[in-house]
């Protein structure tokens, strides 16, 4: 696949590079204010949150620690409702007594975060919040209390700026809607 093909698979641009940059700057400024004088740790949930995390941490002006987790949900309809999540990479340092902000690229059903919040609460942070670039509330199966949201988006198949389809498109600088023919299964 060439670089041209990558863009050719995208229909509408849902959130442009410029809008992402402006919103990330706003979120960074708000987080810096809200956590001034406290001990903030950003926990990025790989892989999708990688570009957002990289930009958000540099938009924050107070000292922060970072840590990385990687999780994957078990596939299949039965497990979707159970919300079982497998931890592929765990935290590398204790978060006990720390203010922790989970950094996500998208909240869809909410099952991943529902699991992660319970898991991280068990590690006794001083506080635990959520910052997500995208929120797709139409697909929510469990209530999630989100502290910082970049953009609320409709129920469309989006890729780019970290979000993938079959592990591709993560390196697009914007969030776009994947053309249906790209993921349509041939009859
Ligand atoms: C995506 C995204 C969230 C989760 C959201 O991760 O990064 O972690 O799905 O979906 P949910 O609200 O329905 O649980 P994915 O499992 O695709 O892994 P990735 O970040 O490595 O692409």
Q: What is the 37 CA–ligand 1 centroid distance (Å)? A: 32
Predicted confidence at residue 79, as pLDDT, reads 43
Q: What is the CATH number of the domain that holds 41?
A: 3.40.50.2020
Among 108, 135, 155, 164, the active-site one is 108
Residue 12 lies in a domain: no
What is the CA(167)–ligand 1 centre distance, in A? 12
State the pLDDT at residue 17.
98
Which residue has the least CA distance to atom 15 on ligand 1? 72
Kindly tell me the burial class for residue 142, based on how many C-beta atoms sit within 10 Å of its own C-beta (0-12, 13-18, 19 or more): exposed
pLDDT in tens, 30-70: 999 999 999 999 999 999 999 999 999 999 999 999 999 99
Q: Which domain holds residue 116?
A: 18-152
pLDDT tens digits, one per residue of 156-182: 999 999 999 999 999 999 999 999 999
Torsion of Cα atoms, 9 then 15 then 18 then 22, to 10°: -150
In a domain, 41, yes or no: yes
Asked if the structure places residue 162 within a domain, the reply is no
pTM confidence score? 0.93
Share of the chain above pLDDT 70, in %: 91
Q: What is the pLDDT of residue 43?
A: 98
Quote the pLDDT of residue 161: 98
80 found inside a domain: yes
Q: Is the pLDDT of residue 77 over 80?
A: no
187 domain residue, yes or no: no
Q: Is residue 2 part of a domain?
A: no
Tell me if 139 is assigned to some domain. Answer: yes
Residue 158 domain-assigned?
no
Identify whether 90 is a catalytic site residue: no
Domains contained in the chain, number: 1
Range from 5-14, 58-67, 75-84, 106-115 carrying the lowest mean pLDDT: 75-84
Check residue 81 and give its pLDDT.
53
Q: What is the pLDDT of residues 106-120, one digit of tens each?
A: 999 999 999 999 999
Mutation choice for ligand 1 from 108, 111, 116, CB with most ligand atoms inside 8 A: 108
Q: How confident is the model at residue 184 (pLDDT cuts 50, 70, 90)?
A: confident
CA 179 to chain centre: 22
Q: Which residues contact 174 (CB under 8 A, 6 or more apart)?
A: 13, 14, 15, 16, 17, 20, 160, 161
């Amino acid at each position: 696949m060439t670089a041209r093909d990558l863009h050719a698979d995208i229909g509408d641009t849902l959130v442009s590079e410029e809008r992402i940059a402006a919103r990330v700057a706003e979120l960074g400024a708000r987080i810096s204010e809200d956590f001034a004088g406290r001990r903030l740790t950003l926990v990025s949930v790989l892989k999708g949150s990688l570009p957002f995390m990289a930009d958000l941490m540099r938009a924050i002006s107070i000292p922060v620690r970072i840590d990385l987790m990687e999780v994957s949900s078990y596939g299949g309809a039965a497990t979707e409702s159970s919300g079982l999540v497998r931890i592929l990479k765990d935290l590398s340092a204790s978060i006990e007594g720390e203010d922790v902000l989970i950094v996500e690229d998208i909240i869809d059903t909410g099952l991943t975060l529902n699991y992660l919040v319970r898991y991280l609460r068990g590690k006794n942070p001083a506080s635990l919040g959520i910052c997500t670039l995208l929120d797709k509330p139409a697909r929510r199966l469990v209530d999630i209390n989100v502290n910082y949201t970049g953009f609320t988006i409709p129920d469309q198949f989006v890729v780019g700026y970290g979000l993938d389809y079959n592990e591709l498109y993560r390196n697009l600088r914007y969030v776009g809607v994947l053309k249906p023919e790209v993921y349509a299964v041939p009859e």
